[in-house]
């Protein structure tokens, strides 16, 4: 079936849009990763019924030998190539973008809901969905769930997997299913049910029971992880929770149509402590000493990121929105600090929150006193306006790299590593040394979450340079071997996609990798959903699809 015939057939069966013009295909050939994969068509479903019809059609065509697949996409902010495909992209932001319900402590949302819109609705109710990523002004809820996103509040609140209570998902049988935790008689009933999802539950239950100890031993020794399928979270011998597997599965097991997520009450007050460290040695001790004060966030960025912010100050001020002169003055202390003492090696942002303003002020003063034990410069930020510049630098560094460095491309390929925070002083210098060995070909920034030992490394490269295709796998392998040495994970938040799927076997070993393949076959025996992610991806494919158009 050629593309014109395929479009005609799809237009007959769904109410949504089916598009294949060059502008649309070019847009959907990219996310925020370093990859370029051109789809055949892009479909914009109107609702879950459209998604069901899509899946049924693709399943039927695949059985006839006309191989097709479906890759879900929300806002396209993924940095791993997760929503890229050579077949059919299913885009949710155009129509499937409704906030269905907001309750006292939960919300039901469709995958195309932009987080910025969701956040506004929560704010007027004094509510918070805590595990939002740094791209919160750009991303959508489908990507947040499918990537198991985390961010600046994960230290205190946990990741997406801790907040998903129920999922609606279209599985390989072309039907929408509601997936929620099951236990007791409800679980036994599901395990004996003669249906597509009953069979799926039985096979998954048997796989986990048979390999229980092996699976539990495979769980990475870090506070957050987005690599592979999270089999260790599904069954605790009391509750069988398949949502724990679907969260973070990058749309490889089915197409998400809705999610019910838990919410918390937002704290009334917030204060920020900013610490400037000239070296990495004091950072683990600082983090350890600050944790008893229950920070909601401990974020960081490096000297290169601060330099970038100061270099592109007009762009930073534009992002912050407001009086340019007043906002420019906000950065004067940083200029003076650099002139007097040089660039700090790492800037840490410690946010404390609470509902009692007096108690919060006491905690912040006590935290400030703790920092005096260390050879660091510290600033107690006195207003929300003054704090905004630090949050903007942390959240917008990738966007600045993307849009303001001429001739180079912000290419995330080792962008989300995590180790136990105690290893930071020995781990990060070794990472720097690996990257610095190629300083003639790449420059880079490091930002992240030191409270979790999670760092985002964004190299800038010239993708037209043929040497880059050699440097990317070489640097990746060296840094990942370092991560494995310190028992970490190659992705804490950003997931696997095209870039990290080839390394999952190396991270987990042959037996667990084989179980991942079994999981994919249980849910998706005909490989209908987002092929080449989580299982089946190769380094050769990744390197062959490094983007050519910037």
pLDDT over threshold 80, residue 294: yes
Q: How far is CA 55 from CA 45, 69, 83, 492, in A?
A: 11, 9, 17, 30
pLDDT over threshold 60, residue 323: no
The dihedral over CA atoms of 332, 336, 341, 342, expressed in degrees to the nearest 10, equals: 60
Q: Which of 403, 426, 401, 425 is nearest to 415 (CA)?
A: 401
Q: 11 falls in which pLDDT band (50, 70, 90)? A: very high
Predicted confidence (pLDDT) per residue in 468-505, tens digit: 999 999 999 999 999 999 999 999 999 999 999 999 99
Decide: residue 299, CB within 10 A, 0-12 exposed, 13-18 middle, 19+ buried.
buried
Cα torsion 275, 281, 285, 291: sign: positive
pLDDT over threshold 70, residue 333: no
Q: 327 falls in which pLDDT band (50, 70, 90)? A: low
Predicted confidence (pLDDT) per residue in 235-252, tens digit: 999 999 999 999 999 999
Q: Measure the CA–CA gap between 142 and 422, rounded to whole angstroms.
A: 33
The CA-CA-CA angle for residues 420, 425, 431, to 5°, reads 85
Mean pLDDT of the chain: 92
Residue 18: strand pairing partners: 43
Q: Which residue has the higher pLDDT, 393 or 70?
A: 70
Q: Measure the CA–CA gap between 523 and 199, rounded to whole angstroms.
A: 10
What CATH class does 267-404 carry? alpha beta
CATH topology for 1-266 is: 3.30.465
Q: 548 falls in which pLDDT band (50, 70, 90)? A: confident
The pTM score is 0.93
Predicted confidence (pLDDT) per residue in 85-111, tens digit: 999 999 999 999 999 999 999 999 999
Beta strands in 186-320 (DSSP E): 239-240, 255-262, 264-265, 269-277, 297-302
pLDDT for residue 464: 87
The dihedral over CA atoms of 177, 183, 189, 194, expressed in degrees to the nearest 10, equals: 40
Query: Is the separation of the CB atoms in 375 and 285 below 8 Å?
Result: no
Mean pLDDT of 38-44: 98
| Domain map (residue ranges) of the chain | 1-266, 267-404
Cα torsion 220, 223, 227, 233: sign: positive
């Amino acid at each position: 079936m050629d593309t014109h015939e395929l479009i005609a057939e799809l237009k007959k069966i769904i109410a949504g849009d089916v598009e294949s013009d060059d502008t649309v295909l070019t847009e959907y050939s990219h996310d925020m990763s370093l990859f370029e994969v051109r789809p055949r068509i892009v479909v914009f479903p109107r609702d879950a019924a459209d998604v069901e019809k899509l899946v049924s059609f693709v399943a039927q065509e695949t059985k006839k030998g006309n191989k097709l697949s479906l890759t879900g996409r929300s806002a396209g902010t993924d940095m791993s190539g997760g929503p890229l495909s050579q077949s059919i992209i299913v885009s949710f932001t155009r129509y499937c973008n409704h906030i269905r319900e907001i309750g006292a402590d939960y919300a039901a949302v469709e995958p195309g809901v932009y987080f910025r819109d969701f956040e506004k609705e929560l704010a007027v109710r004094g509510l918070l969905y805590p595990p939002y990523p740094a791209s919160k002004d750009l991303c959508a809820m489908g990507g947040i769930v499918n990537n198991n996103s985390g961010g600046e509040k994960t230290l205190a609140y946990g990741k997406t997997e801790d907040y998903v209570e129920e999922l609606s998902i279209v599985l390989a049988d072309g039907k929408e299913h509601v997936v929620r935790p099951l236990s007791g008689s409800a679980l036994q009933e599901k395990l004996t049910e003669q249906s597509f999802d009953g069979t799926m539950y039985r096979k998954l239950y048997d796989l986990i029971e048979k390999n229980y100890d092996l699976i539990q031993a495979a769980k990475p020794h870090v506070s957050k992880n987005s690599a592979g399928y999270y089999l260790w979270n599904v069954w605790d011998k009391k509750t069988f929770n398949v949502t724990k597997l679907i969260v973070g599965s990058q749309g490889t097991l089915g197409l998400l149509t809705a999610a019910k997520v838990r919410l918390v009450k937002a704290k009334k007050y917030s204060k920020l402590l900013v610490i400037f460290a000239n070296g990495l040695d004091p950072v683990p001790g600082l983090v350890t000493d600050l944790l008893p004060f229950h920070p909601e966030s401990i974020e960081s960025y490096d000297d290169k990121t601060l330099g970038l912010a100061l270099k592109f100050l007009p762009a930073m001020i534009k992002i912050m929105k407001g009086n340019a002169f007043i906002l420019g003055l906000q950065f004067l202390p940083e200029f003076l600090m650099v002139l007097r003492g040089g660039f700090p090696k790492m800037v840490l942002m410690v946010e404390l929150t609470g509902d009692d303003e007096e108690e919060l002020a006491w905690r912040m003063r006590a935290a400030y006193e703790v920092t005096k034990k260390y050879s660091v410069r510290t600033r107690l930020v006195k207003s929300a306006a003054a704090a905004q510049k630090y949050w903007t630098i942390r959240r917008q560094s990738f966007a600045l790299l993307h849009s303001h460095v001429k001739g180079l491309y912000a290419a995330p390929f080792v962008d989300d590593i995590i180790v136990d925070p105690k290893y930071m002083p020995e781990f990060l210098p070794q990472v720097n040394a690996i990257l610095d060995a190629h300083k003639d070909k790449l420059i880079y920034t490091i930002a992240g979450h030191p409270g979790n030992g999670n760092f985002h490394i964004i190299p800038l490269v010239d993708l037209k340079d043929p040497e880059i295709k050699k440097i990317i796998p070489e640097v990746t392998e060296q840094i990942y071997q370092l991560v494995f040495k310190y028992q970490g994970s190659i992705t804490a938040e950003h997931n696997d996609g095209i870039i990290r799927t080839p390394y999952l076997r190396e991270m987990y070993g042959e037996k667990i990798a084989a179980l991942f393949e079994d999981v994919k076959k249980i849910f998706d025996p005909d490989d209908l959903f987002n092929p080449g992610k989580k299982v089946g991806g190769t380094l050769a494919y990744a390197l062959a699809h490094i983007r050519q158009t910037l």
